[in-house]
Amino acid sequence: MATSGKSAAVSHVGKIRSNNQDSGYAGRYLFVVADGMGGHAGGDVASAIAVKRIAETDRQYTSPNDAEFALHAALLAANSLLAETVFEHGELTGMGTTVSGILRVENQVAIAHIGDSRIYLFRDGELKQISADHTFVQRLVDSGRITAEEAAVHPRRSVLMRVLGDVDASPEIDTTVLETKPGDRWLICSDGLSSYVSDEKMASVLGTVPDTEDAANRLVKESLDQGAPDNVTVVLVDVDDTGDSSHIPPVTVGSAASPLVFEADSTRRPLRLPSLLLHPLKATQTDDSHFEPESDEYLNTLILEDRRRARRRRISWLVFVAVVLAAIVAAAVLGYQFTQTRYYVGVDNGQVAIFQGVQQDIGPIKLSHVVEATTIGVDRLTAFNRQSVETTISANTLADAHRIVDRLTG
């Protein structure tokens, strides 16, 4: 029996960007997400060209290896097409795109991937990232220089090492074939989802929203709830064995859903000042993805940056500790000064004495001292007065304390 199922594709421009450079495709056997880059002109064109070209492989294959070969060839063909397009339209120079796709052959999937869009498999309640990010920060994680948690918030996390575009005639594409079975949910998404919505949140949506379309929409909504600084694209594939879904018409979303327009963007878009002011941190953190050819020099720059950042963090921490210590000392001094405005009458060496300060001590620190001794022995006092003096009698001022002493003997 043919293992088939339902799928959904959703793409959203997000809350900050002015155009959607992502493209998505949910076809009969093929499912793809592409995230374009290239500044104001190009990113949307790049992902659209790639997805339209790769969509041509959406047909039934006799073996998963054939499908893997066809998918790999389609990505290479898309790469050549991007180079040709840049050759004819110079204004598109530097455009590129990620591509993550799966091509299903019954109960197996062929996978092809380049860039930092992601392919996840949700199976038995667990979400597993299948694709590896071709980013510099992932390289730093792999070499043990930073942790995955640090990579997730790294300011240069969108710098890519590998993409399709006009930069490399033979790009390094990851391909593989994996088993799939009824109940599997394959999630393909752009970093507009994975950078802002945690794996736990994605897993919780996939585990609780059974309908394919609803789940895809919920995932996009999760990113929007986080402010969606980037374009968000989700293609979700539910594998089941209820029958053949190959009659369902393919869905294209994002920039590939619109006709291609190659026009130089001669007018620079104004800086989006309001969003910069509202989210200064986010606006700088979500700079366009860009491609850096793999080089040790760039890697070293990133490592140096990380060291500088760590040093800055250490210095901030030291300053914080110093400020807290200063505050504690100031509070102690003020507190001590306050205690020294108080007086009480008590006993010192068997005689009535006036003390400055308060009766309580803090550990070894005495908060009071005798300011005036008297020659009145406590054994001369009445039993009541003696007891009062032994438990001490508070006074607001020194004059007050004198009056108390007079009263004791009067």
Does 133 help bind Ca ion (rule: CB under 5 A)? no
Phi, psi of 58 (to 5 degrees): -80, 80
Segment contacting Ca ion by CB under 5 A, of 51-59, 191-199, 205-213, 216-224 = 191-199
Q: How far is the CB of 232 from Ca ion (least distance, A)?
A: 8
Q: How far is the CB of 160 from Ca ion (least distance, A)?
A: 10
Nearest to 111 by CA among 121, 122, 100: 100
Segment contacting Ca ion by CB under 5 A, of 192-200, 204-212, 261-269, 386-394 = 192-200
| 5 or 229: CB nearest Ca ion | 229
Q: How far is the CB of 312 from Ca ion (least distance, A)?
A: 27
Among 58, 133, 184, 191, binds Ca ion (CB under 5 A): 191
| 138 or 190: CB nearest Ca ion | 190
Total residues binding Ca ion (CB under 5 A):
5
Segment contacting Ca ion by CB under 5 A, of 118-126, 187-195, 299-307, 367-375 = 187-195
- Measured CA to CA in angstroms, residue 111 lies from 102, 177, 178, 188, 311 at distances of 5, 6, 8, 11, 41
Whole-number Å distance between alpha carbons of 135 and 151: 10
Q: CB neighbours of 231 closer than 8 A, spacing ≥ 6?
A: 11, 12, 13, 14, 17, 20, 21, 22, 35, 190, 192, 254
Does 230 help bind Ca ion (rule: CB under 5 A)? yes
Whole-number Å distance between alpha carbons of 116 and 132: 8
* Residue 159 exposure: Cα atoms within 13 Å on the Cβ side: 18
Among 25, 32, 35, 111, binds Ca ion (CB under 5 A): 35
Whole-number Å distance between alpha carbons of 161 and 171: 10
Q: How far is the CB of 22 from Ca ion (least distance, A)?
A: 7
| 58 or 230: CB nearest Ca ion | 230
Cβ contact 294:61 at 8 Å? no
Q: How far is the CB of 192 from Ca ion (least distance, A)?
A: 5
Q: How far is the CB of 163 from Ca ion (least distance, A)?
A: 11
- Give the interface with Ca ion as residue ranges (CB under 5 A): 35, 190-192, 230
